Amino acid sequence: MHPKRLPKWAAAVLLLSAMLPALAQETKVRFQLDWRFEGPSALFLVAKSKGYFAQEKLDVTIDAGNGSGNAVNRVASGTYDMGFADLAALMEFTANNPTAPGKPVGVMMVYNDTPAAVFALKKSGIKAPADLSGKKLGAPVFDAGRRAFPVFARANQLDASKANWVSMDPPLRETMLAKGDVDAITGFYFTSLLNLNARGIKDEDIVVMPYPNHGVKLYGNAIIASDTFIKQKPEAVKGFLRAFAKAAKDVMANPDEAIKAVKERDGLIDEKLELRRLKLAIAGSIATANAKAEGFGQVSPPRLSLMASQVSDAYATKTRVDPNAVWNAAFLPAKGELNVFPGK
């Protein structure tokens, strides 16, 4: 029968048959965020919404998370192929589970400077790290700033062993500081600052001590991938990072537009609030002087080694962190594709 005389249903079958090989070529990637769908997740959601992942023949599923430690565990277990997690949490897992199969490794740095910070209210009289001595500090037990506080303390001549910690669930952290139940808290800069604002406390009434501004050179969150996925789908890892770099450039060039991708994924977000959070993350952790000096997505080997040593001590890991066991730069895009920072 002449093709033009085929019944409509038959023509549809032929068209679907022609499309199947292309669809079959797509690689599924299960991706775990470190936290909820907030401003900074635009970096990943833009890559999805603009079709950058699809252009790399990737079918990426992006799920919200509930902490870097859990993101590392879920990638390690094979529940997710890739994820977004604090590099210190990855180091801790690797050093405590040296023989675990499929251990995740960092493949692209995103938060070149840790967002961790100490927060206090000006009315408390706390103005500098030295004023924290003997004070009551609050944070969830898994908070990155709390876990790394010994590094902050050592850099500022404090005795970390004398810190008086109060633990709470994340939603109560800023409330307890506002009520005076604790003297100071640790948290991500772009999270705790906005949470304090939401509780009626103005920026000018808050003392913020960002770790990077007080002698702490820790890296923050990186894209991680399981060793198993890397070995089985190396081209998928490369494609994911290319798409992400392309999206990161778009996000930093136009965050106002990028936040719409987050709104599309979670219609309940406060768009204005999350836009501010995204801009704070870009300025304080992503497009920083260190990131521009080292190159987007990359790390400095001496700085990585220093962090490995500091995490080994601060987290009291079972074995010393081997920097070569937690980082693999082989999948990064070409230098030109990593030129994502906006011009002056």
Q: Which of 177, 112, 186 is nearest to 145 (CA)?
A: 186
Residue 3 has a pLDDT of 47
What residues in the chain have per-residue pLDDT under 50? 1, 3, 21-22
- What is the per-residue pLDDT for 102? 80
DSSP 343: P
- pLDDT computed for residue 328 by the predictor: 98
58-63 vs 27-32, strand pairing mode: parallel
Residues paired with residue 104 on neighbouring β-strands, in sequence order: 226
The CA-atom distances, in angstroms, between 100 and each of 33, 94, 113, 215, 231 are: 22, 8, 28, 33, 16
Give the C-alpha separation, 298 to 109, whole Å: 6
Type of residue at 12: A
Q: Give 209-225 pLDDT, tens digit per residue.
A: 999 999 999 999 999 99
| Residue 114 backbone phi and psi in degrees, to 5 | -55, 135
Residues sharing a CB contact under 8 Å with residue 323, sequence separation 6 or more, in sequence order: 301, 304, 305, 307, 308
**Beta-carbon count within 10 A of 180 CB:** 11
For 329, phi then psi, to 5°, come to -90, 5
3-state secondary structure of 105: strand
CB atoms near residue 160 (< 10 Å): 13
- pLDDT score at 7: 63
Contact 192, 117 (CB under 8 A): yes
Which of 36, 32, 111, 106 shows the shortest CA–CA distance to 73?
Answer: 32
> Domains of the chain (ranges plus CATH)?
26-113+219-338 (3.40.190.10), 116-214 (3.40.190.10)
Count the neighbouring beta carbons within 10 Å of the beta carbon of residue 232.
12
Q: What is the pLDDT of residue 22?
A: 47
59: helix, coil or strand?
Answer: strand
Cβ(63)–Cβ(258) under 8 Å? Answer: no
DSSP secondary structure of 174-236: HHHHHHTSSSEEEEEHHHHHHHHHHTT--GGGEEEEEGGGGT-----EEEEEEHHHHHH-HHH
pLDDT score recorded for residue 162: 87
Closest alpha carbon to 226 in 108, 106, 87, 103: 103
